[in-house]
Structure 1
Amino acid sequence: MTVKIPGAFVGVNVGFGSTSLPAAEDVVTILKAHQFTHVRLFDADRRMLNALANTGIEVMVGVTNGELLGIGESPSLAAAWINKNVGAYLPATNITAIAVGSEVLTTIPHVASVLVPAMSYLHRALVASNLNFQVKISSPQSMDVISRSFPPSTATFNSTWNSTIYQFLQFLKNTGSFYMLNAYPYYGYVSGDGIFPIEYALFQQLSPTKQIVDPNTVFRYTSMFDAMVDAAYYSMGALNFSGIPIIVTESGWPWLGGVNEPDATAENAETYNSNLIRRVVNNTGTPGWPSLPVSTYIYELFNEDKRRGPTSEKNWGMFYTNGSAVYTLSLTSLDMVTGNSSQGVFCIAKHDADSKSLETGLDWACGQGKANCLSIQVGRPCYEPDTLQNHASFAYNDYYQRTKSSGGTCDFGGTAMITSADPSHGSCVFTGSSRSEMSGISTPFSAFGPVSTLSARGTTLQVPDAAVLIPAILAMFQILSSVSICTQFCTA
């Protein structure tokens, strides 16, 4: 869903607090299918880092809050962490940043004293490995480190953390890194208790009577997001730091909430994230810093049902774990920016799907789902390789391509997923493939109803009798016609 353009990008957070996460390879397939070029991992998951190798996707890895204390007290432990979680994967995996902890000052304040030492030790290890020019180090901070964020021009950091914040900013300045900000207008709007209109939080147009203006700068703010970013810039300025760019490491909107969370809806989530993408890719800055675009990582790819707290905490994901969208973003795949269309997105069987579940899905697709399964019967172009996954992938995709415009999904009991990689091979052309357009080949439409399977792979698919008889009838008609014509005109 993102594309890297000069000065700005939209990335995505991938958390692992879900009970039904797909395999790492399938997560990467989903990222590629939606054209994400930047991804943030909350830790340094080995499987994900291996799966991201040779994709070109820029990766931000995380030192967890649990690891922070040890690293902040031991340079050797920091060096070992870099060797194990960064050096071991470069250059194949494009690691470009390390997020040290998450909202440390506001969530685990007793560890605040080791935050900057931990960052310094990690940076030394990068320098020793000659990786410091490729990999930047910072630490995501919440808006809560700012004592008063509006109006932005008067914003300052909470004085409780002045010493740590000063050291933190000095580190960023010295290493040419960036300030990582977690900016959530959802929380700003909810906690505001009606002070701000919801349109302001959702990037929607405000009426003249609802305009938000900073009385000191007379800057007009059309979104709470921009005001939050400027509040961080002004807070740094209050400590005489300038020239440190901000990257928003988390921003999003929950699509489902409890009875006391009426604003956590799919409609609001769709509106917020669509407008956020539009705002970022226009490559402009904020009212206070118009020349500094605001790259942003959306929170998040999947729901995390293991998270504690209210219902909304578990429902920020833009996609289900099979790659289907929770809601339709108006800028899906950033077509406005890339010029790409939704063509080239396919529905295939998961690599680790259970065989019996795949059989059930294949039977449904070729039966009730009315997919055209002629091409995967014996002797047909897509029969080989004769595997259950291959046959199911063809049937799943045919169903999906025919029905997605009318609400058809890529699920099949959790055995299917979305991919941008064209699964066509040899003379087998999958429905929706650009190869069919280039070659003039098209998968025959099922004119006589669906083809049904018997059970396991390798079983000859049952084809309606008419599909077999029609070619024979046509051939016989041609023979009879030629005989009739010759009877009249070929006599000696």
Structure 2
Amino acid sequence: MRFEMLLGYILLMYGSFSAALGGYVGINIGTDLSDLPSPEQVVAILRSHQITHIRLFDADNHLLSALSDTGIEVMVSVTNEEVLRIGQSPAAAASWINRNIVAFVPSTNITSIAVGSEVLSVIPNVAPVLVSAMQNLHKALVSSNINNGVKISTPVSMDIIPKPFPPSTATFNATWNTTITELLTFLRRTNSFFMLNAYPYYGYVQSNGIFPIEYALFQPLSPVKQIVDPNTLFHYDSMFDAMVDAAYNSIAAFNGSVIPIVVTETGWPWAGGANERDATVDNAEKFNNNLIKRVMNDSGPPSQPTVPMNAYIYELFNEDKKPGPLSERSYGVYFSNGTSVYTFNLGTSGDATVNASGGFCVARKGADAGSLQDGLNWACGPGQANCSAIQSGQPCFMPDTLENHASFAYNDYYQRMRSVGATCDFSGTAVTTMVDPSYGSCIFTGSTNSSSGGLVPPAFGPEGPPGNISPRQLPKIWSLLLVTVGLLVL
């Protein structure tokens, strides 16, 4: 009995710490592109760029398998085409859960299910069974005893809030009152969150000059351009904050309660047609990097300052097969080979921790490209590292980036030669880490992993494992847990 009480108390403490650790930024993964990488290559790209949260627009079983044992938090989706059948049939919902959730957890870290995508806007005729579909899926999770670890919600578009500014007076379109009431009741009952797709790009373009572009890009506003809600006198430094607050106020107008909001889609296109002059590389780079800084400060919008704003950037790759204007095909932050469209960093763990006692030798994130190339050339030449695995068609070739190839070469040299005094430096472009950088079938020298899909952290020297928890907070948390254990044992 004492052990059970101790374990329960530890889990309670851990849950409390986890809930207080702040916001995260994830990324959406679309598949409507002509040169889609394999699931293993997608996972390698995620790891190499330190991406720890993803949203899939379906429940691709091959990708879910490739994500096994990576620790990456995964939001899977019921497609719009599946919502009607699942909403009408509990058996169909149970089958979907068994195929796409039960078959993969806990190895694949599935944490939520998005039921459809903007159903109220895209397929309004299915709205009457939307919440029924969510309820049927939740019952199937309960039957499988995994409902506590997997939340269910549905992404809605900002267009169901007709007048989002000022946020204090925002309300949902009355057409959807019945569905919204059912939805909010379900979210509150299951302790889930409200999924919102919010694009300041469209808000800015459609405002026809009413709002300055700095407001949409999270940039400082001059005193004469300050955006203030006249009812609350809240100052809004970004359109993103105002959009989230508009949703919070719309929710409050129904039941007065606070249901946390997760922004399931946001982003800025880096290319556009002749009439899309604000879709530029510079604006996309500013928006996404400023978004990351905004979310990672762990505060909420003015009306809910203590509720972090988690967000998923749209999207990982440019989906060149999508219809519509050029901007629709230009939201990707990476090309399909893993290289960045512009300077972009979703990794939140900072510089790598150097561990002089050994571990793995990897390229320092942000190292000068010329110096990295010199180091790679030396390691594979005079250093006599075995670089065959990073050749085209070999298991460590993808992602085809200088940092990834240098990490493999640096580590192979270091593992072979450190016993005779070799160091992990390479003119300041390398660091050591105790975290195994292996991924998929790419096994780094010195790794104990012998099969693909082992515990695979980011490739470029992170401070700790993927997930919500900042590595800097882990020692404090474990210290507190150990003290608690000691006190209870005594």
TM-score between the two structures when normalised by the length of structure 1: 0.74
The reply on whether 1:56 has 2:62 as its aligned counterpart is no
Q: Distance in 2 between matches of 1:141 and 1:266?
A: 27
8 A contact 2:77–2:113 mirrored in 1: yes
Match in the other structure for 2:234: 219
Equivalent position amino acid for 1:253 in 2: W
Give secondary structure in 2 for the equivalent of 1:218.
coil
| CA distance in 2: counterparts of 1:380 and 1:373, whole angstroms | 9
Q: Give the aligned partner of residue 327 of structure 1.
A: 342
1:344 is aligned to: 362
Contact 1:155 1:232 in 2 (8 A): yes
Distance 1:33 1:257 in 2: 28
8 A Cα contact 1:155 1:231, kept in partner: yes
Name the CA distance, whole Å, in 2 between partners of 1:207 and 1:39.
35
Shift of 1:294: 0.3
Give ranges in structure 1 of 5+ residues lacking alignment: 348-368, 398-409, 445-492
Amino acid at match of 2:90: P
Q: Structure 2 vs 1, CA of residues 218 and 442 (structure 1 numbering), >3 Å: closer, same or farther? A: closer
Q: Which residue is equivalent to 2:129?
A: 114
Q: In the alignment, which residue of structure 2 is the partner of 1:251?
A: 266
Residues 288 and 52 of structure 1, relative CA distance in 2, 3 Å threshold: same
Matches within 5 A, 1:64-463: 64-329=79-344, 332-334=345-347, 338-340=350-352, 344-345=362-363, 381-383=384-386, 387=388, 389-391=389-391, 419=404, 422-424=407-409, 428-429=413-414, 439-440=422-423
Distance 1:443 1:194, change over 3 A: closer
Equivalents in 2 of 1:304, 1:437: separation in Å? 49
Partners of 1:434 and 1:147 lie apart in 2 by 65
Cα drift, residue 382 of structure 1: 3.2
Q: CA deviation at 1:242?
A: 1.1
- State the percentage of identical aligned residues: 53
In structure 2, relative to structure 1, the CA distance for the partners of 1:438 and 1:59 (3 Å cut) is: farther
SS in 2 for 1:239: helix
Alpha-carbon distance in structure 2 between the residues aligned to 1:24 and 1:184: 28
8 Å CA contact retained: 2:362, 2:410: no
Runs (4 or more) in structure 1 with deviation over 2 Å come to 332-335, 337-347, 369-377, 379-384, 389-394, 415-430, 433-444
Tell me how far apart the structure 1 counterparts of residues 406 and 79 of structure 2 sit (CA, whole Å): 33
Q: Give the structure-2-normalised TM-score.
A: 0.74
Report the CA distance shift for 1:422/1:243 in structure 2 as closer, same or farther (over 3 A). same
Check the 8 A contact 1:324/1:418 in 2, yes or no: no
Deviations 1:333-392 (A, max 9, x none): 546x53449993599xxxxxxxxxxxxxxxxxxxxx999767657x983358xx5x4455
Aligned pair in 2 of structure 1 residues 161, 94: CA closer, same or farther (>3 Å)?
Answer: same
Cα distance 1:162–1:427, how it changes in 2: closer, same or farther (>3 A)? closer
> Are 1:33 and 1:420, in contact at CA under 8 Å, matched by a contact in 2?
no
CA distance 1:425–1:126, change in 2 (3 Å)? same
Report the CA distance shift for 1:75/1:341 in structure 2 as closer, same or farther (over 3 A): same
Deviations along 1:216-266, one digit per CA (max 9) or x if unpaired, are 001111100000000000001111241210000011100000000000000
| In structure 2, C-alpha distance between the alignment counterparts of 1:238 and 1:258, rounded to whole Å | 39
Post-superposition Cα deviations, 1:75-104, rounded to whole Å, max 9, x if no partner, equal 000000000000000110000000000000
Q: Is the 8 A contact 1:429 1:435 kept in 2?
A: yes
Q: Residue in 2 aligned with 1:450? A: none
CA distance in 2, matches of 1:163, 1:209: 42
Tell me how large the CA RMSD over aligned residues is: 3.3
Q: Greater CA radius of gyration, 1 or 2?
A: 1
CA 1:211 to 1:47, structure 2 compared with 1: closer, same or farther past 3 Å? Answer: same
What do the CA deviations read for 1:107-133 (whole angstroms, capped 9, x no partner)? 110111110000000000000000100
Number of matched pairs: 396
**C-alpha spacing 1:4/1:308, structure 2 compared with 1 (3 Å):** farther
Q: Which has the higher contact order (CA 8 A, sep 6+)?
A: 2
3-state SS of paired residue (1:121)? helix
8 Å contact from structure 1 (residues 178, 245) kept in 2: yes
Deviations 1:36-90 (A, max 9, x none): 1111001001111011100001100000001111111110000000000000001
Q: Contact 1:145–1:158 at 8 Å: present in 2 too?
A: yes
